[in-house]
Structure 1
Amino acid sequence: MKNTNSNAITVQATTNAPAEKVWTYWNAPEHITKWCQASADWHAPYAENDLRPDGKFKTTMAAKDGSFSFDFEGVYTEVEPYKLISYTMADGRMVTVEFDEKDNTTTVTETFDPENTNPIEMQRGGWQAILDNFKQYAEEN
């Protein structure tokens, strides 16, 4: 189900790769651990992913200096291969990820409910940075 929250935040990147590759790199734990960080001083040392409705995912995001880490996790509500993923995060917020392939490029659009702690622009910037890391990883590998 597509996120229709009027307060939702959207980030987007177009990757020079076909949807099949983008889908695999987005969802396979061995790839997630290579791109899922917002800055060079963070990394994702662990990822698991059961990509199906009611399946769970978890990615550990951690500062490389060991000072802080957290698990980004949730449950899938909808999975349409190469097209759409919807999930609910552990804190109840909804996320929709759309994949749109045209001419051997794939646009990934993430729409997510904001949390109430950090400013909207900080949240948008963090999610966009992770998406930009994904784009770079998918194009270079």
Structure 2
Amino acid sequence: MDGCNDEEMVVTYMEMATNTYLTERKEKKKEKEKEKENENENENENENENENEKEKEREKEKEKDRGKKKEKKKEKKKEKEKENENENENEISTKPRASEQRVREEGREKEKEKEKEKEKEKQKEKEKEKEKGIKRNAERR
């Protein structure tokens, strides 16, 4: 019986060793799979981060472009304002100023008044001449 027991023990021992070996092998496979999964996850995360960074760069470029467009619009507005100011200045310089215009109008009015006074004086002189003529005619008669 001892031989039989020895054989059974050897078989049992062999089975245990095989089971241990297989278990360890499965565990190693699982570990390798986990490592691969982790590597894949890390790669995916890195790719996502890179994609996010690229997207941020694109957004920055868009913002720069928008800023440049705004600057150009501001410059165009300033140029238009300057042109309008220049046109207004040209119009003002070609048009007489209000004060100058008033002075001219007042001068014209004074000249007209002087002319009216001269005409009144001429009328008075004509009337005097008529009266003198009438008196002369009356004296002659």
Q: TM-score, normalised by structure 1?
A: 0.17
Q: TM-score, normalised by structure 2?
A: 0.17
Kindly name which structure, 1 or 2, has the bigger radius of gyration based on alpha carbons. Answer: 2
**Structure with more strand by fraction:** 1
